[in-house]
Amino acid sequence: MTAREWQIDEVDTGRWPELEALYAEAFPGVDSMLETIADDATVYAAQIDDEIIGYLLTTRIKDRVELWEHVVAVGHRGKGVGKSLLFHLVHYLPEEDIVVLDPAGLLDDERLADYYGDQGFDLLVSGEVAGYATVVDDYLETYSAE
């Protein structure tokens, strides 16, 4: 498996249906944010040969990277693909950056909350907004691409 970073304008638009299909399989009935935030987004994709088996969709505001979508193909779940994508994302960011997960639905999903907690993300509450976050430097001290 290889992981690579794409600026959204580098993504061959012919691959968008592949990303959207992965999302639709993972979250039936929920629309992907891909086209909505495409102008400001970066995609981190995991591939085996030419097949995309997972991706992260992120945006950046100063030293804050927001993770909007974290998708792994159903047939590749439980094999470390998601963890590898998170490590790839965090490993290549400046150490003072903060990675924040989009909180939509996360706090109500105990399985996802446990997963991100196990990956080094802590609950972050700021006013009425809650989500999960990690500081890159702290994450790198604790986790590695196993």
Taking only the tens place, the pLDDT of each residue in 22-80 is 889 888 888 887 777 767 778 888 888 888 899 888 888 777 788 888 889 989 988 98
Q: Which of 100, 93, 89, 95 is nearest to 124 (CA)?
A: 100
Q: Which of 8, 106, 13, 107 is nearest to 57 (CA)?
A: 8
Whole-angstrom Cα distance, residue 124 to residue 81?
Answer: 25
The torsion angles phi and psi of 16, rounded to 5 degrees, stand at -55, -45
Instruction: Give the model's confidence band at 145: pLDDT under 50 very low, under 70 low, under 90 confident, else very high.
Output: very low
Rounded to the nearest 5 degrees, what angle is found at the Cα of 113, between the Cα atoms of 60 and 79? 85
Residue 140 has pLDDT above 60, yes or no: yes
Residue 19 has pLDDT above 50, yes or no: yes
CATH 3.40.50.150 fits 2-142, yes or no: no
pTM of the model: 0.76
Going from the C-alpha of 116 to that of each of 46, 49, 102, 112, the distances in angstroms are 19, 28, 12, 6
Of the candidate ranges 16-30, 78-92, 97-111, the one whose mean pLDDT is the lowest: 97-111
Residue 119 has pLDDT above 70, yes or no: yes
Query: What's the pLDDT score for residue 94?
Result: 76
Whole-angstrom Cα distance, residue 63 to residue 49?
Answer: 33
Query: What's the pLDDT score for residue 146?
Result: 46
